[in-house]
Amino acid sequence: MAWLDRRGRLWGKVSVLDVGAIAVLVMAAIAFFWLPTKGGASVAQLASANQQPVEFEIMVRGLTVLRPNSLLKVGDRPNLMVRNQPRGQVEVKAVTVLVPRIPVPTLDGKVTVVPDPRLAELYVRDFAVTLTATATVTNDGLVVGGDKLKIGTPVDLEGPRYVMRGSVMDVRF
């Protein structure tokens, strides 16, 4: 009896296409559970890694707002968006409202920094926001909601009355 018959079956029982499909599934399972990622852990290990509380700071620049001191409060829980994808809620730990400042040369040759007096800048504010969340810490950085969070990563905070876009300026864990 030949290995392959006229209908493409091995020893007359199993189709060659079925054997190929099973081989692909077995290789995919091995790759998922056994082969390491760039960080040294497999995908299955990353999913089950211990999560811990972390802090990160974001800088929101040039937000036009009428009442900046009542926009964000300590203890608020806005939604975090990373690369336009929702990544869960974070807690506001601290908020600093920064008034735009400009350098002004003086007659003695020194430079003094003063608040921006232009009327157009009257309602424009910068915010430094410290946030806390539960995240996975890997060799490659911080993972919040399945997305890496590093200095410079653009993020959005979405609350009931606002959406503010900023970037991460510090990560502490």
Is 63 in the same domain as 127? yes
Structural domain for 31, as ranges = 1-35
Closest C-alpha to 83, from 149, 171, 162, 151: 149
**Is the confidence at residue 6, as pLDDT, over 60?**
yes
In a domain, 42, yes or no: no
Closest C-alpha to 164, from 66, 64, 96, 97: 64
This prediction's pTM? 0.66
**Is the confidence at residue 46, as pLDDT, over 80?**
no
Is 102 in the same domain as 126? yes
Is 117 in the same domain as 162? yes
pLDDT tens digits, 139-169 = 888 888 888 899 999 999 999 999 999 999 9
**Is the confidence at residue 44, as pLDDT, over 70?**
no
Q: Which single residue is written with the structure tokens 């299955």? A: 44
Is 66 in the same domain as 128? yes
**Arithmetic mean of pLDDT, 76-92:** 93
Q: Which stretches of the chain are DSSP H helices?
A: 16-33, 43-47
CA dihedral 51, 52, 58, 64 (to 10 degrees): 80
122 — pLDDT class (breaks 50, 70, 90) = confident
In a domain, 44, yes or no: no
CB-neighbour burial class of residue 39 (10 A; exposed 0-12, middle 13-18, buried 19+): middle
Number of domains in the chain: 2
In a domain, 40, yes or no: no
Is 53 in the same domain as 23? no
Q: Which single residue is written with the structure tokens 């608020």? A: 76
What CA–CA distances, in Å, run from 108 to 101, 102, 113? Answer: 20, 18, 15
